[in-house]
Chains A and B, each alone.
Chain A
Amino acid sequence: MSLKKYFLLMILFFVAGIGYGQRYFTKSGKIAFDATTPSSPEKIKGKSHTAVCVLDTKTGALQFSVLMKGFEFDRALMQEHFNENYVESDKFPKSEFRGTVTANDKINYTQDGKYKVEVKGTMTLHGESKEVVTNGELKVDNGKIKLEANFDVLLADYKVSIPGLVADKVSKIAKIEVDCALELFKN
């Protein structure tokens, strides 16, 4: 074989590698949560702009990771309490989700369109893992994929305790909002 052929072979393998798994990702996904009770005078809301999200369009595998210290709050003191007292970010620096889009084969990722999707998987927060199922919207738009979902998390499920002193302000259920725009992952 000549050298030319080797290169051809090499290219073939790399192309095969890319074609084999189409991965879309972002490192600037938005994840927000709101744990404000109706009676609270101040909004207990945090937002991260640095969530990492990866989607494998072939298998439907979907994974999220967000650094707890990346959540920003209106009040610095809230941020401190969030990290120090509630999610204990030194011990449990990140929260993850590993799961799949359930009806992945029904989605045509090559064509623009909107899909209602169900996502199933394991969420890990505060060192506790739990199976979750949630509905969201997946939008294919010009080679990019937009993911949006809203769901509730019962904080007690993840052993995040709300002391009685602040129970009138901090809700036991946090509303989570996910908003990620994924782009094709190139090695």
Chain B
Amino acid sequence: MKNTTLAILIIFCGLVSNNAMAQDDLLKMVGEDKPKKERVKYAFKSPRVINSHSMEFLNPGTMDFRILHRFGQLNQGYKNFFGLDQASMRMGFDFGILHNLMAGIGRSTYRKEVDGYIKYAPIRQTKGARVMPLTVALVSGMTLDGTDWADPVRKNFYTSRLAYYFQMILGRKFSESFTLQLVPTMVHKNLVPLETTPNNIYALGVGGRIKLSKRIAFTWDYTHVIKPTLDSGYYHPLSVGFDIETGGHVFQLHFSNSTGMNERAFITETSGNWAKADIRFGFNLSRVFQLKKNKNTDSK
């Protein structure tokens, strides 16, 4: 009896295996449909939301030449053509080194500042065989003030020109069209104007993107300064705008209440008030150059 059961089982197995083989879907047979681990890419069109760093990285072997432009305040009216008579800019070069490592330098007209940073992501959002719900990126940057000393009489140290910032970007591309990131930030200034002004500033950034079409996206970038409470005359920086992609460029058009375009400047020295239309029209222009060719694409 036992043997008969075994026999039936074996025959059955044989038949099943034959049937499986005879199945129409050959691709399934070779295990083609198994999900693979896949990095979630293109959460933002560029490595900057507007002013803030985004969770996105440049591709390795590419350089991004960025010109950031902010005009004057909108509420200056027709006399200054709604701010377009004036301009502040930052020119930057960013380099993609690894898929999760990039670095860049920039020079701003505002306070003649030079800044540089390194951005590294120990964790990147993945899907497929292995799911990681979010990207965690760390940014460490430095700024160097290039203006004349405010008080040339006192003993001035070179290091007094420096400020540092440290950020952690927690970002997730929720869907094809929606991305959100939280950015806890600390800015340290070596020199502050008053003894009562703290050197360390803590802030939390909230940035995001809503894709409106394949080539146009709505973006916003807000940083809430938590500690110390802002001095009068300073505001929380908020920028809203659109990313428009053409062939090789990304245009970011936006309105912002900050003049400065590095972390020290826009987090701690944003003087515009949205409520009074004390905001500026601005654009970022990004052109990505391929420095290193992809070796896998060489013709056979």
Where the two chains meet, the residues of A that have a C-beta atom closer than 8 Å to any C-beta of B are 1, 3, 6, 9-10, 12-14, 16-18, 20-21, 23, 25, 27, 30, 45-47, 49, 52, 54-56, 61, 63, 65, 67, 69, 72-77, 79-81, 83-85, 88, 90-91, 96, 163, 165-166, 169, 179, 185, 187
Q: How far is the CB of B178 from chain A (nearest CB, A)?
A: 13
Q: How far is the CA of A21 from the CA of B300 in the complex (A)?
A: 33
Find out whether the CB atom of A25 lies under 8 angstroms from the CB atom of B296. no
Binds A, one of B23-31, B102-110, B116-124, B234-242: B23-31
Residue of A whose beta carbon sits closest to that of B39 = A69
Q: Knowing that A74-B290, A84-B214 are A-B contacts, what are 9 other residue pairs whose CB atoms are under 8 Å apart, sorted by A's residue number?
A: A17-B21, A45-B297, A49-B296, A52-B30, A63-B26, A72-B297, A77-B288, A83-B41, A187-B21
* Chain B residues closer than 8 Å to A27, beta-carbon distance: 30, 32
Q: How far is the CB of A147 from chain B (nearest CB, A)?
A: 14
Q: How far is the CB of A40 from chain B (nearest CB, A)?
A: 11
Interface of B is mostly: mixed
Residue of A whose beta carbon sits closest to that of B288 = A77
Find out whether the CB atom of A6 lies under 8 angstroms from the CB atom of B27. no
* Chain A residues closer than 8 Å to B7, beta-carbon distance: 1, 6, 9
Q: How far is the CA of A166 from the CA of B17 in the complex (A)?
A: 52
Tell me if B6 counts as interface (CB < 8 A to partner A).
yes
A54-B29, A96-B27 are contacts. A69–B38 as well, Cβ < 8 Å?
yes
Q: How far is the CB of A97 from chain B (nearest CB, A)?
A: 10
| Pairs A–B under 8 Å by Cβ, sample size 8 | A6-B6, A10-B13, A20-B22, A45-B297, A65-B27, A73-B294, A75-B294, A83-B42
